[in-house]
A and B are shown apart, each in its own frame.
Chain A
Amino acid sequence: MAAADIILTREAAVQGRGEYRARTRRKIMILVGLSLALCLSFAVDLAWGPARYGLDQVILALIDPDAVSAQVRTVIWDIRMPVAVMAIVVGAALSVAGAQMQTILANPLASPFTLGISAAASFGAALGIVTTVPIIPVAAGLIVPVNAFIMALAATLFIHFVSQVRGVSVQTVVLLGIALVFTFNALLAFVQYLASEQALSQVVFWTMGSLTKATWPKIWATLAVLLIALPLFARNAWALTAIRLGEDKAASFGVNVRYIRLETMLIISLLASVPVSFVGTIGFVGLVGPHIARMILGEDQRFFLPGSVLAGALLLSVTSIVSKSILPGVVFPIGIITALVGVPFFISLILSNVRRSW
C-alpha cells in the first residue's frame, strides 16, 4: 500500500506545479505579444495608404482631429479607420467561430467557410442583390445583409439539428457541411445565371469579400456579436476544452455535452454570418486563425479562445495592409488574398503530421 501512503502523507515534488505555473506565464506572455503585434498591425494599417501622410500627421489626426486638414481627417477617420477596425473585428469573429467549430465538431478542417455557412450567406446575399426579395420584411438597404444572415443561420441550424437526429457523429456533420457548400454554390450559380450584368458584377464582388464595404454601423454590429459571444464561450471554457477529450470523457466531468454543443452552434452561426453578411466571403481566416492559436498556445480554452481572437484579428489586419499594397491605388478584395494564403495552409493541414493532435 505504498502508493496510498504517498497520496495521503507525503506531498508530491513541486516540479509539476511549478512547471505548470511557468507554462501559464509563458502563454500569457504569448497573448501579450500577439496583442502588441495586433496593435502594431493596426497602427500600420492606419498610417499606410496611397495618400502618403507623415506619421506626425497621422498621430495628430488621431489625437486631435481638428488640428489637421479636412483631407487628412477624412482619410484617417472615414477611409482608413473603418477598414482597419473592420479587419480586426471580422478576423476575430471568423477565427473564434472557426475555433469553436473545430472544438465541438472535433474536426481540424471545420470552419464557417469549409462547412458551407459562408456559402449559405453568399447565396442569401446574391438572392437579395438579384431579386431584391427579402426573406423577412426589412428596409431596402438591409436586404442583402439580412438575407445573408438568415441563410447562414439556417445552414448552421440545419447542420446542427440534422446531425442531432442522426446521433451526432463528427463525420456526419462534416459531410453535411460539404453537401451544403455544393448546394449553396449551385444555388448561387443559378441566381447568377438569372442576374442582369450589373447585378452580376455586384454579386461577384460580394462573393469575393472586401473590407471596403466597412461602415461604422456594420462595425458596431459585428463587435456587438463578438462581445456577446466571447463571455458565453469564456464561461464554458473548461467544458469546451473537455469536449476535445471526447463526448464520454466530457460527460464524465459533468459537462452537458448536448446543451453546450447547441449553445455553441447558435453562437457560431451569429459569429460566422454577421461578418459575412457585411463584407462578403472572407475564407480561411476561420481555419488558419485557430490553427495558429492552437500551435502556439494549445487547446486550453482559457488561452486558445483569446489566442484565436488575436490570431484571426492579426491575420486579417495584416492582410488588409497587403490588400492595399499589391497594386497602388487599388484595394484588392481581401477574400482573394486570404484564399491565396489559406489554400496552401489547408492542403498542408491535410497532408502534414497535424494528424498527431487529432
Chain B
Amino acid sequence: MVTLQLEALGACYGKKLIVSDVSTTPLKAGEIVAVIGPNAAGKSTLFKRIAGLLKGPGEVSLTATTKSRKAIGYMPQDTSANAVLTVYESILLARKQGSAWSVEDTDLRFIDTVMQALNITPIAFRDLGALSGGQRQLVSIAQTLVREPDVMLMDEPTSALDLHRQIEVLSFMQAQARLKGMIVLIAIHDLNQALRFADTVLLIADGKMRACGHPLDVINPMMLRDVYGIDARIEKCSRQFDHVIVDGVAA
C-alpha cells in the first residue's frame, strides 16, 4: 500500500531556500492531490524536490512498492524539447532506461496500451518536433505512465489541452490512481478541475504552504481574495460538482 507524507519539506536552488515548510497529512493510495497557487508560488520547485532533483530540508516519507527511483514519476512542465525521435521512440525511452539495448515485446505491448488509452496512437510515428503543444503534453503523460510509478508528480499536465481533453485526461488519471493504487499530485491553475477531481488540495503561495486539506476547505471565497485577489463564490453545477464563479478582481 502506497503512502506519501511531506514533512516540513523545503527546496533549495543552490543555497537559496525557495520553498519551505510544506507538510501534508498522510496521502493514501488512489488519492488525487491538486497543488494550486499563483504563478511562481513554488509548485514546480516543490515537485522537483519531491522527485529528488533538488535538495532541501524536511522529509518525503514514502512507502512504495519499489525502492528504486522509479517509485516517483515526475512529469516536468516543459515539453518543448525537439529531438529527432518519433513519439513511439520517446515513450519507449521513458520505459527503457538502463544499459541493456534489447527491447522486449512486453515493453512494446504496454506502450501500445498506454498510447491507445491516451488516444495518441495516430501520432505514434510522428517526430516530436511536429507535435502541437497539447499533443506534447499527452506524450509527456504517456512517458510518465509507462514508467509505472507509485507516485506521479504532474506539473500542469493539461495547460495546453482543450476542455474535452482536459476532462478526459484528468478522469483517466483519477481512474488509474484508484485502480493501481497510485498517488497523483497535479499542479494545476484551473481551480474548477481541482474541485472536480482532487481528493486533497495543497495551496502554495510565496514559497510557503498556505493550506492542505479537503478541496472545499482550501478553495473558498476568503482564500480566493487573499491569495488570488479576486471576488468569487463556490456553486454547484448541474452534475453536482463545485465550481468557482468569479465575480471580478477584488477591490
Check A-B contact in the complex, CB < 8 A: yes
Interface residues of A (CB under 8 A from B): 1, 3-4, 6-8, 11-17, 19-21, 23-24, 106, 234-239, 241-242, 244-246, 248-249, 251-255, 294-295, 298-300, 302, 356-358
How many angstroms from the CA of A248 to the CA of B78 in the assembled complex? 8
How many angstroms from the CA of A252 to the CA of B12 in the assembled complex? 18
Q: Does B76 contact A (CB under 8 A)?
A: yes
Which 7 A-B residue pairings sit nearest by Cβ, starting from the closest? A4-B175, A244-B83, A248-B76, A12-B112, A12-B116, A252-B74, A246-B81
CB closest chain-A residue, reference B176: A4
How many angstroms from the CA of A235 to the CA of B101 in the assembled complex? 8
Q: Does B206 contact A (CB under 8 A)?
A: no
Q: Does B94 contact A (CB under 8 A)?
A: yes
Q: Which of B48-90 contact A (CB under 8 A)?
A: 48, 51, 53, 68-70, 73-76, 78, 80-86, 88-90
- Identify 10 new A-B residue pairs, CB closer than 8 A, beyond the known A254-B97, A357-B84: A16-B115, A20-B88, A236-B99, A237-B99, A238-B96, A244-B81, A248-B53, A251-B53, A252-B144, A299-B84
Which residues of chain B come closer than 8 Å to A17, judged between CB atoms? 105, 108-109, 111-112
**15 A-B residue pairings within 8 Å (CB atoms):** A1-B171, A3-B118, A6-B113, A11-B109, A11-B113, A13-B116, A16-B88, A16-B108, A16-B121, A16-B124, A241-B83, A245-B83, A245-B90, A249-B76, A254-B68
How many angstroms from the CA of A358 to the CA of B82 in the assembled complex? 5
CB closest chain-A residue, reference B75: A252
How many angstroms from the CA of A248 to the CA of B83 in the assembled complex? 14
Which residues of chain A come closer than 8 Å to B127, judged between CB atoms? 356-357
**B94 & A8 in contact (Cβ 8 Å cutoff):** no
Query: How far does the Cβ of A239 sit from chain B's closest Cβ, in whole Å?
Result: 7
Interface residues of B (CB under 8 A from A): 48, 51, 53, 68-70, 73-76, 78, 80-86, 88-90, 92-94, 96-99, 101, 103, 105, 108-109, 111-118, 121, 124-125, 127-130, 140, 143-144, 147, 168, 171-172, 175-176, 179
How many angstroms from the CA of A236 to the CA of B144 in the assembled complex? 20
Which residues of chain A come closer than 8 Å to B117, judged between CB atoms? 3-4, 6-7, 12
CB closest chain-B residue, reference A256: B69
Query: How far does the Cβ of A204 sit from chain B's closest Cβ, in whole Å?
Result: 38
Query: How far does the Cβ of A143 sit from chain B's closest Cβ, in whole Å?
Result: 39
Which residues of chain B come closer than 8 Å to A1, judged between CB atoms? 171, 175
Given A19-B125, A255-B97: A12 and B179 interface contact (C-beta under 8 Å): no
**A23 & B84 in contact (Cβ 8 Å cutoff):** no
Query: How far does the Cβ of B99 sit from chain A's closest Cβ, in whole Å?
Result: 4
Query: How far does the Cβ of A8 sit from chain B's closest Cβ, in whole Å?
Result: 7
Of A14, A106, A249, A254, the contact of B70 (CB 8 Å cutoff): A254
Query: How far does the Cβ of B52 sit from chain A's closest Cβ, in whole Å?
Result: 9
> Dominant SS at the B interface?
helix
**B89 & A298 in contact (Cβ 8 Å cutoff):** yes
Query: How far does the Cβ of B178 sit from chain A's closest Cβ, in whole Å?
Result: 8
CB closest chain-B residue, reference A249: B76
How many angstroms from the CA of A106 to the CA of B179 in the assembled complex? 39
**A298 & B84 in contact (Cβ 8 Å cutoff):** yes
CB closest chain-B residue, reference A17: B108
Given A16-B112, A248-B78: A8 and B179 interface contact (C-beta under 8 Å): yes
CB closest chain-A residue, reference B51: A252
How many angstroms from the CA of A245 to the CA of B81 in the assembled complex? 5
**B82 & A356 in contact (Cβ 8 Å cutoff):** yes
**A13 & B112 in contact (Cβ 8 Å cutoff):** yes
Query: How far does the Cβ of A309 sit from chain B's closest Cβ, in whole Å?
Result: 15
Query: How far does the Cβ of A262 sit from chain B's closest Cβ, in whole Å?
Result: 17
Given A19-B125, A248-B78, A253-B147: A298 and B85 interface contact (C-beta under 8 Å): yes
**B74 & A241 in contact (Cβ 8 Å cutoff):** no
Which residues of chain B come closer than 8 Å to A242, judged between CB atoms? 93-94, 97
Of B76, B93, B115, B147, the contact of A12 (CB 8 Å cutoff): B115
**B86 & A298 in contact (Cβ 8 Å cutoff):** yes
Query: How far does the Cβ of B162 sit from chain A's closest Cβ, in whole Å?
Result: 16
Which residues of chain B come closer than 8 Å to A236, judged between CB atoms? 99
Which residues of chain B come closer than 8 Å to A252, judged between CB atoms? 51, 53, 73-76, 144
Which residues of chain B come closer than 8 Å to A238, judged between CB atoms? 93, 96-99
**B112 & A235 in contact (Cβ 8 Å cutoff):** no
Query: How far does the Cβ of A247 sit from chain B's closest Cβ, in whole Å?
Result: 9
**A4 & B179 in contact (Cβ 8 Å cutoff):** yes
Which residues of chain A come closer than 8 Å to B140, judged between CB atoms? 249
How many angstroms from the CA of A99 to the CA of B20 in the assembled complex? 41
Which residues of chain A come closer than 8 Å to B114, judged between CB atoms? 7
CB closest chain-A residue, reference B101: A302
Of A3, A19, A251, the contact of B171 (CB 8 Å cutoff): A3
Query: How far does the Cβ of B90 sit from chain A's closest Cβ, in whole Å?
Result: 6
How many angstroms from the CA of A242 to the CA of B69 in the assembled complex? 16
Query: How far does the Cβ of A93 sit from chain B's closest Cβ, in whole Å?
Result: 22
Query: How far does the Cβ of A95 sit from chain B's closest Cβ, in whole Å?
Result: 16
Which residues of chain B come closer than 8 Å to A358, judged between CB atoms? 82, 129
Query: How far does the Cβ of A171 sit from chain B's closest Cβ, in whole Å?
Result: 15
Query: How far does the Cβ of B156 sit from chain A's closest Cβ, in whole Å?
Result: 13
